[in-house]
Chain A
């Protein structure tokens, strides 16, 4: 596609509900990144994929967060048993090669946990 696409754009979840956020990277991009951006903050790194391999998941805040990219293209970030502190914008970025390449960002998914 023309750019990184994320869906849904907005998600409201009740506390305790599971959510799944989708990222469609730019076609052919090898690397994919997930970030969490709290209100008034800069993005915080969550996890990084190179093709289908999850090379770094050190930023995932708890074991309730899980990300996958089974075929090396589309990625899903899943949050189980959502808590209010999970409310944030979740950003996805992709790059052509590795983590040294320029990253292109999606518009993000704004998650609100009520």
Chain B
């Protein structure tokens, strides 16, 4: 079975400082992993995904994540936070049920960016 744990429910950073959102996963096989962002009153948007290619994945808006199998982690980072990054972030692992790839979602991390 697959599961995902987001280690922080809330992260607060100052504008211009680095962002780190932590995610650990559990999977019985090599997983696909995703980060989604949800801005208030907007739909979920895919930031980046890992599908067994390069372990360092670059996404949109300057975000990137590194797949570390030994640590079962897929932390999301950004060198310099911008005010517009304030949102809810979800770490997601894929699982299979029959012929349907299901997305298993973490509980989310709320990112606040202070001026």
Contact = CB atoms under 8 A, between A and B. Distances in A.
Interface of A: 3-4, 40-45, 48, 55-56, 58, 91, 93, 98-100, 102-108
Contacts, number: 51
Contacts of B102: 45, 56, 99
Contacts of A42: 90, 92, 105-108
- What's the dominant secondary structure at chain B's contact region? strand
Contact of A102 (B42, B43, B46, B107): B46
A99 B101 contact: yes
B97 interface: yes
Contact of A3 (B41, B43, B90, B99): B43
21 contacts: A3-B43, A40-B108, A41-B107, A42-B106, A42-B108, A43-B44, A43-B90, A44-B105, A45-B102, A56-B97, A58-B97, A91-B43, A98-B99, A99-B99, A99-B100, A99-B102, A102-B49, A103-B46, A105-B44, A105-B45, A107-B42
